[in-house]
A and B are shown apart, each in its own frame.
Chain A
Amino acid sequence: MANARALDRRRRSVRNIRKITRTMELIATARFKKAMDRSVAARDYTEQLAKILKNIAAVGGDLSHPLLISRPTQRSAVLVLTGNRGLCGGYNSNAVRQAVGLLGQWSSDKTKTHVTVSGKRGINALKFRGITVDEEHFDFEDKPAFSEVAPIGESYLKSYIEGDIDRLDVVYTKFVNIGKQEAVSETLLPLQTPTDEDASVSPVGHLASEEYDFYPSAESILEEILPASFQSRLFKCFLDSAVSEQVARMVAMKGATENASGIIKDLSRRYNRARQSQITGEIMEILGGVEALKK
């Protein structure tokens, strides 16, 4: 028979754990809302850029820019975005698994890779799997700032133009909707031509491209706008990751809280039973004692 006091102690500790997971769930919910707002606020910029790009594409005919030219991949760069903290379900491990798959592919092709990882969890997991991490970032939490992401993007742009890398893939957790986030790898460099993407941007309410004048010229605008477009996409990856992490933590902690409630219920039942049987035993002992005294 289980010891009633030991069961009670366990129940108390599970209760404390439930309090913690419940709080973490609430915090994650609040952070998720904030991260989501930021992500929505950032959407305008991307849409406006896409609109201008589309107009230039329609006018300029063929677009040619070093960032659009795809070269045979000899050296590739991979950026993996994970969280600094755990307790968020499969969020980190999914991203790491995706990254390992991609890196395995590159290494079997004998392609040199430069690996950059953001987030303690991802860094440790990849190192554990024997992958050399060339660059580490720790300072991206739930609120990535554009001013922090921009230098990373700039260094990628520089090395792409100088030919140090031929391709850049970003492994991150894409936020599809609140019920679905998936770890994906996306190729950011070479940039896809604006014509075959962003078809979703509706041209309703906008003028035909022929009507636009360009100052100083379409080419010069393109030269500036492509890096900006790359930066905004990279930033979007960071924002998506931040949102997904909070959602994952929210869901994981909700599950943990529910599980703790179930365990408490079970422990309570066992505790009551043990207590009852203890009382019964004691009564039996007293009765036995009384019987013995009578003799």
Chain B
Amino acid sequence: MATTSSQKLIRCVIVTPEQTVLDTKATAVLLPLDDGSRGIASGHAPFIGRLGAGEVKLLGVAGGNGGETTIRTFIDGGFTEVGNNEVTVITQHASDSGSIDPVEAKAELAQLCKQKAVGDEQINVLLSAESTARARLRAAQKNKK
């Protein structure tokens, strides 16, 4: 905490129906909102927002040996509540971005692209599945670099 003590921290909690995946403090949190990502630092004005598929990035989390690390977690949609110097992310699935296999993610996307949908509803479902798969692939590739 030596390096971060001078900076103000914000608490970030990620919950899924099965468990609380993450509960930690960071200097800033990047959220994938429905319509683009948004950065939250300490003292952000309160809001409730809808999330799209993408990575939640926590910057400046105190690491084990006094350093700072970045935590990336992939989520597929959900909600967020920001307020009281706290970010709560509510999502159905959350997984560590590092655990996603880029090859697998790519294959999944390719398979979705091949599928055909008929009717508005099916098309919407397929489109959202495709965008989730794309976000997954992006997260996996970014993490690999």
Contacts and interface: CB of A to CB of B under 8 A. Distances in A.
Interface stretch (A97-105, A224-232, A253-261, A285-293): A224-232
A150 B81 CA distance: 23
B48 A212 contact: yes
Contact of B17 (A212, A225, A232): A232
Contacts, number: 86
Contacts of B18: 38, 41-42, 45, 145-146
B108 interface: no
Interface residues of B, number: 26
B90 A49 contact: yes
A45 B79 CA distance: 11
A220 B50 contact: yes
B49 A235 contact: no
Interface residues of A, number: 32
B15 interface: yes
Contacts of B83: 206-207, 211-212
Contacts of A41: 18-20
A163 to B, nearest CB: 15
Interface string B20-38: 1000000000000111000
A48 B81 CA distance: 9
A146 B16 contact: yes
Contacts of B81: 48, 51-52, 55, 212
Contact of B90 (A52, A145, A213): A52
Contacts of A247: none
Interface of B: 13, 15-20, 33-35, 45-50, 77-79, 81, 83-84, 88, 90, 92-93
